[in-house]
Structure 1
Amino acid sequence: MISNERFAGIRAFVQAVEAGSFSRAAQQLGMSPSSVGKAVARLEQRLDVRLFHRTTRSLSLTDEGLAFHDSCLRALRELEQAEAGLAERRSQPAGRLRITVPVLLGRDWVMPLLLQLAAQYPALSIEAQFSNRPVDFAEEGCDLAVRIGLLQDSANLAARQLGVQHLAVCAAPAYLAQHGAPATPDELDRHACIAMLRDGRPEAWKFQDQQGKLRDVAITSRLRLGHLEAVAQAALAGHGLAQLPRWLVETALASGRLQMVLEPYATAGMPLYAAWPASRAMTARLRLVIDTLREHVPPGLQADRP
């Protein structure tokens, strides 16, 4: 069984890595800097390895320290899961849940729900990352991800579909009054189109023909913008046509500030999933967040949309 002294050394080591210095780690642990330094030194002596490169101004991990830190984090996560398992016996969601969500969708839909859960369950701790890139669950220690599109690594994941992201080609009424509306995707080259930049390249627009075949259409654009909200703003200002997630422009469509075109060519949409590692047990906190997301899907993301 691990002694208090050994555990104190591991705790001081992990905190020093996260804080970046012994002095900041000492403040966070309520210890003196010398006590933290001695605890780490005893840990290094016991392991017979140097964990840190030390100078008067900096603290950095050795290769051995980096590997040991990764092992410590995995062990601490297992301890957290053990604590959460005990809390589940009281049917009270507790412990830390790490979730990653798409930037805009996470801000507008997921985050308000997480804040409600944080207020309702004081024992629940939430870490939310906002990113549009796929997450590496094992590397990043993530518990849950909200993903748009097909799951490429589905063999290692468990998932529940939350809804569908539909795309809408739309423009301001003033633009359509002056230039007319395209009747087919082939007429887009006669219009001003506002492109979404993805990894530095304009994203092709997606359509479905009358036979149900998916088709990507490369558009010619004068405005190429790297943020969906910026694309929506340009469309609202009358700069041309834009293909945008339906949920993002739902209010503008309902108020008439934007109008949809090319509706017969709209795709069936991309599935929206809550995904988590299949190897992990379903904890009360994970179940709570998934169920909350499923119960509060916005109208613009519901699966029965046209």
Structure 2
Amino acid sequence: MTEEEKGLSASVIKTEGASGGMLLAPSNEPVIRNLIYTVRGTQVMLDSDLAMLYGVETKALNQAVRRNINRFPERFRFHLTKEESDSLRSQIVTSNAENGRGGRRYMPYAFTEQGVAMLSAVLRSETAIRVSVQIMDAFVEMRHFIASNAALFEQIRAVELRQLQYQKTTDERFERVFDYMETHEAPKQKVFFDGQIYDAFELLVELVQKAEREIVLIDGYVDVGTLNILAKKAPGVAVIVWTHPRTHLTQGDVDTFNAQYPQLEVRHSTAFHDRFLILDGVEAYLVGASLKDAGKKSFGIARLEDEGAANAILTCLKQ
């Protein structure tokens, strides 16, 4: 036995308890399993973890291997690439200080199961043999676990593939919708016929949701049905409703609305016959029926193309 190997054996022997039994009792085997990783499709352990289990320094362990390098072909022990080392580091929860991995100036070595078995022959101590047996038992247990759950893993992979395919299909559908929206302008006018209550409601809600700061509605006949549409506005958008003094909308209705969808203000005017919806002070729509009656009879909604129309209506309201 070389002096170096004697030193390794002495270091390992120091890890034995007072009774001569290993500190790595069977109850500690789950810790060993946690130190087994999969690299290049093979289960391996890192040199620093093995050195910790054997009770020696990582440098000393690798030096012993180099003195017997003919026993460690590539399939027994290989150098990790930087990418492989970084990937493993992201999987390891324990801190570098706890595992003694901090401050290394070279990439770790990975030992396969055969490489671990060969280590016991290199270290040449009964303690090293017992530790290697525990490690190889952990390798075997891991293989049995993978084999017994192969069907489950396959099912998980199948689910993941279906999810990826579904996500891809969904993304493609959204892209087609967005492309259509970019190449097709929204209709400037729309006619609804008797019975198209939902269609009318849907378009009015879409218009209300376009507002970013303020909605002004001029409608001589409003009630809680009108508020149901205005409630679809974006948060923080103020609403001013101009309606007939004899409106069916009560102050209690306004207070209830403001408790959840502030801020609504109701003002009165008899100066308008038609209904108008003005968004952010610049976009004006002529609505052929009161919002509460939308779809009950045939009516139309048309955007006013005159750029000054919205301002002219708002100016009239201030007089």
Short-chain TM bin: under 0.3
Q: TM-score with structure 2 length normalisation?
A: 0.18
Please identify which structure carries the higher strand content: 1
Larger Cα-atom Rg: 2
Q: TM-score with structure 1 length normalisation?
A: 0.19
Please identify which structure carries the higher helix content: 2
Which protein has greater RCO, CA pairs closer than 8 Å, 6+ apart? 1
